[in-house]
Chains A and B, each alone.
Chain A
Amino acid sequence: MAKDTTGEAFVQFDRVQKSYDGETLVVKDLNLEMPRGEFLTMLGPSGSGKTTCLMMLAGFETATHGDILLDGVSINNIPPHKRGIGMVFQNYALFPHMTIAENLSFPLEVRKMGKSDREEKVKRALDMVEMGAFGGRRPAQLSGGQQQRIALARALVFEPELVLMDEPLGALDKQLREKMQFEITNLAHRLGITVVYVTHDQTEALTMSDRVAVFDDGRIQQLAKPDQLYEEPENSFVAQFIGENNTMEGTVKEIKDGLAMVELEGGEVIACKPVNVSKPGERTRVSIRPERVEYNKDRIRDNAQKLKAEVLEFIYMGDIFRTRLRVAGNDEFIVKTRNAPDQMRLKPGEQIEIGWLPEDCRALDA
């Protein structure tokens, strides 16, 4: 990663707000700083404001309040075509009446570049996405994945420093999507460009990004590296939104030695890591990842939090087993275990004991 060493932000949102109708805010007080060369993903459910943020950065929407700075300069009043930001659209937006080569040549033509330079750059861009032989075709003659590559090449051909991508892989099938995820990150790091990537697919966000900004309700709920985001969600929205999670509601009894004792609905008291709770009596939602729970006696550590459970369902999924349990009155408690030679295979109705490490169980906001 070619992180900027000066520490100055390349892209900066400074207290940005956006309203379409003057009554509700779609983006509420957005603050974000991105160093040069970073691959940042805006992740969130639809209507969370992530696409609006991207459009403000591209210049297609104006911020109602606040500043957007690019390389230290406010770009609020710069029209989109002067911003020099590359963009890949959701449906690629390849011009259907032009050939692939003409599509790629377009940004160079409007920059009044000479013909030979243009041809040279178009050729290089096509080779970069391994589509060298397709210059003479029309977009409609290409498959979805090929169109995706062309859209990428077109956004990069005029060598922008910042590239925006608006759910670029949404229309592809799973296999192709995974391949393209890899290619895009590879290309971005190789060229050292800064990328803002919008998606609602969390796997995409986790696998591709240097940092992920989780959007909900017009705010960034958490901005962190993928592993941090997954393992240390700061609130229950992030915990629920990223990956699968078991949640149980309860009340904090006491906090001591860096652990919160939480009394669950069923009366059980468990030890959790306090994240959004600070004093006894507070309502909380505890969350624990399915893969951090063990039911094999040999694997449960001594210091683990142990609870009784009843097996409701045992699903064999090949690489993992997915077990649905009833734990503390919760029928939807999921445990995922690796399919290892020494792993137990459970039957519905079995009474077992499960355990997890207290620091894996996070007491979040209710």
Chain B
Amino acid sequence: MSASTNTEPMLSADGKPLKQSLARALRRQKIRALLLIAPLLIFIFIAFILPIISMLFRSVENDIVATTLPQTVAALETWDSSTGELPDEAVYAAFASDIQKAAKAKVHTKVGLRLNYEQSGIASLFKKTARKAKKWDMETDGPFKEKLIDVHKGWGKIETWQTLKVHSSNYTSGYFLNAIDMRKTADGPEFQPENKQILLTLFGRTLIMSLIITGSCLLFGYPVAWLLANLPMRQANLLMILVLLPFWTSLLVRTSAWKVMLQQQGVINDVLVNLGLVSDGARLVMINNEIGTIVAMTHILLPFMILPMYSVMQTIPPSYVRAAKSLGATNTTAFWRVYFPQSVPGIGAGSILVFILAIGYYITPEIVGGTKGVFISNRIAYHILRSLNWGLAAALGTILLVAVLILYWTYDKIVGIDNVKLGG
């Protein structure tokens, strides 16, 4: 007890500082705990964290031009693109040498493809040039300026060389600019021509539709969660099975079922026409557009809203509402003033979960979304699978990730993440 009144640090029985002794005593436990979860940590690191990092890295990585055309890049350093004059012979010679090597190593198409993202037509330019350049003799066949322009008039255009120079650095912001409908030019970033602007619209649509889906999940899910938390055990269990039933059915089956329900010759339209509510000629268009995506995704994500809300509502004792009523509150007042505020953590948890799931959803918009109802994730998939522009896909993915993190942060600031409860 005397030690605690002293300003000196507490000492343990053997005279060492108490904190140090405690740390030593706990270290063994900590190491053992760490060893136990080490396999999981390593697995997560290799199978999850590393791929994500490497994918994110692709969004800025751009060493292909510099490694394939090293002499050209070095020669272009001195060229000032703003003068409006073509580069001099040294650049052309360097390029001819580079493209010949690249053609022999069969890597010229990759560079062409990469630069084609920035300026369409470059891919064929590279292909044609490489075919010719294979036969040239570097020592005797110069000068190459006329020769190259002769092969393809693209080499006589300043834009081609500008594109080459702008995208010659090892790291680029080009993909990110592309991802927000801009492009990198010699004069700095500028917007894409209007007919090529689709990504910002897609981002906006993804955000707005995710919000609508979250909202409708909340609207439908709240009463169900309340029932689950307040019905007698037997009925609640039955209801819980109904809520979980969708989880036991494949996502594809459920989405396809909506296709059957919503299409113009589908169940809902048929019923409406038979009831005379809708004329046969004016069947509702509910699929391959926003409505289809919203309906199907609300249904699919509903359990993710219900379950967190249910687990929070379960912890609200019925005595609160009873107390409110005994104090003179009507049912409505008791609900809004006493029950609802206490269920907000559940609403928060469910909304975050549904929103984050929705914003990255892919399969359902792909199947029922048509062209108007697709999300940004569908575009990412397109760039990964079809156009093979992985850099752009990575940039889009990064933006999506950052957007979700910002929303999460904002939510934390406003509502407080401690208020989110997924159970207990």
Contact = CB atoms under 8 A, between A and B. Distances in A.
A93 interface: yes
A80 interface: yes
User: Taking each of B317, B320, B342, which has the highest tally of chain A beta carbons within 10 Å of its own beta carbon?
Assistant: B320
With most chain B CB atoms within 10 A of its CB, the pick from A59, A107, A158 is: A107
Given A91-B317, A97-B342, A110-B333, A81 B328 contact: yes
A89 B319 contact: yes
Interface in A71-98: 79-87, 89-91, 93, 95-97
B319 A110 contact: no
A60 interface: yes
A85 B322 CA distance: 12
A106 interface: yes
Quick one: which of A83, A84, A89, A155 has the most chain B CB within 10 A? A89
A118 interface: no
A89 B325 CA distance: 12
Contact of B320 (A93, A111, A164): A93
A158 B322 contact: no
A363 interface: no
Given A106-B337, A110-B333, A93 B328 contact: no
B324 A106 contact: yes
Contacts of B317: 91, 93
Interface in A105-161: 106-107, 110-111, 154-155, 158
B322 A60 contact: yes
Contacts of A111: 328
Interface in B318-347: 319-320, 322-330, 333-334, 337-338, 341-342
A95 to B, nearest CB: 6
A11 interface: no
Nearest to A82: B328
Contact of A87 (B320, B323, B333, B337): B323
Contact of A93 (B323, B337, B341): B323
B338 A80 contact: no
Contact of A81 (B326, B337, B338): B326
A58 interface: yes
A95 B338 contact: yes
Contacts of B327: 81, 86, 106-107, 110, 154-155, 158
A80 B325 contact: yes
Given A90-B319, A110-B333, A58 B338 contact: no
Nearest to A80: B325
A16 B327 CA distance: 25
Contacts of B334: 81
B330 A58 contact: no
Contacts of B330: 81, 110
B328 A158 contact: yes
A204 B63 CA distance: 83
Nearest to B326: A87
A106 B329 contact: yes
Nearest to B333: A110
Interface of B: 317, 319-320, 322-330, 333-334, 337-338, 341-342
28 contacts: A58-B326, A79-B325, A80-B322, A81-B325, A81-B326, A81-B329, A81-B330, A83-B326, A85-B326, A86-B327, A87-B323, A87-B326, A89-B319, A89-B322, A89-B323, A90-B319, A93-B322, A93-B323, A95-B342, A97-B341, A106-B324, A106-B337, A107-B327, A107-B329, A110-B328, A110-B329, A110-B333, A155-B327
Given A59-B325, A95-B323, A107-B329, 9 more contacts: A81-B327, A81-B334, A87-B322, A93-B317, A93-B322, A106-B324, A106-B329, A110-B329, A155-B327
Interface of A: 58-60, 79-87, 89-91, 93, 95-97, 106-107, 110-111, 154-155, 158, 164
What 10 A-B pairs are tightest by C-beta distance, nearest first? A107-B327, A93-B323, A87-B326, A93-B319, A80-B325, A97-B341, A110-B329, A81-B325, A110-B328, A89-B319
